[in-house]
Amino acid sequence: MSAPTLLYEGKAKILYTTNDPEILLTFFKDDATAFNAQKRGKIAHKGEINCTISKILFQYLEEHGIVTHFIDCPAPNQMRVRALKILPLEVVVRNIAAGSLCQQTGLPQGTVLEPPLVEFYYKNDQLGDPLLTRDRLLLLKLATPEQVDQIQQLALQINTHLSAFFKSCGIILVDFKLEFGLDSESQLRLADEISPDTCRLWNQSEFDPDRRVMDKDRFRRDLGDVENAYQEVLERVIATGNYQQ
């Protein structure tokens, strides 16, 4: 039996091998970064909060037929996942204009996007995760045309499920980022995490553009009360009754 060895340390998580080559162990860190790690900090209890929120959302998506890498959580900040070949893509789904979409297009923040927008970014820190066109993505062979179509469809289905879930928590799902990978049978699976680090979440009952923010934008934009916002999202997600030990 081989001891767990560190496979990869990312900005928010550490991946370890296990004695089963099909299974990896993920540790969620309290570390927070923004703007391609130019801004660094810590958010107290973020590891446990993001791991638990991700667990509940992965379980919810699995119940709705979405295939994910999630297996279980041996501890509040640890998740066992299937080993995947991660596609170097960040798939962003947007329901409401915010963030880089507004900066790059001039669309006013808050513009409702109907239908939702699906965007592909190249997951490459050295290049600053640039926005891709479909042709550039195919040129770089980051995925096959069939995989791109499948990811696009899956991303929209996931958006429908997550939007409904968050709505039941009194939260508007503004936009979010997904990652996908292939398992040993070449099946596409949703990977990474779904948390206030990777979603824009606005409190439905707040209209003030700063006060309504319940996600990592509080850290990115120095809005304060970051821990409380993450904790509040966790409490609302648990209150839906979807939490399984």
Instruction: Report the nearest approach of ligand TMP to the CB of residue 38 (Å).
Output: 12
| Cβ pair 34, 43 in contact under 8 A | no
34 strand-pairing partners? 39
Q: In what order do the strands lie in the sheet with 112-122?
A: 112-122, 89-96, 171-178, 199-203
Does residue 100 touch ligand TMP according to CB under 6 A?
yes
Residues 6+ apart with CB under 8 A from 159: 93, 95, 116, 173, 176
Binding mask 190-229 for ligand TMP (x = CB under 6 A): --------xxx-----------------------------
The one segment of 37-45, 51-59, 60-68, 96-104 that binds ligand TMP by CB under 6 A: 96-104
Does residue 88 touch ligand TMP according to CB under 6 A?
no
Does residue 176 touch ligand TMP according to CB under 6 A?
yes
Instruction: Report the nearest approach of ligand TMP to the CB of residue 1 (Å).
Output: 35
Q: With contacts defined by CB under 6 A, how many residues of the chain interact with ligand TMP? A: 11
**Which residue sits closest to ligand TMP, CB atoms considered?**
99
Does residue 59 touch ligand TMP according to CB under 6 A?
no
Instruction: Report the nearest approach of ligand TMP to the CB of residue 119 (Å).
Output: 8
| Cβ pair 21, 3 in contact under 8 A | no
SS3 235: helix
Sort 22 into a burial class: Cβ within 10 Å, 0-12 / 13-18 / 19+: exposed
Q: Which of residues 153-172 bind ligand TMP (CB under 6 A)?
A: none
Chain-centre distance for alpha carbon 31: 16
Nearer residue to ligand TMP within complex by CB, 70 or 176: 176
Which residue, 33, 66, 48, 12, is CA-closest to 233? 48
List residues near ligand TMP by CB under 6 A: 92, 99-101, 129, 175-177, 198-200
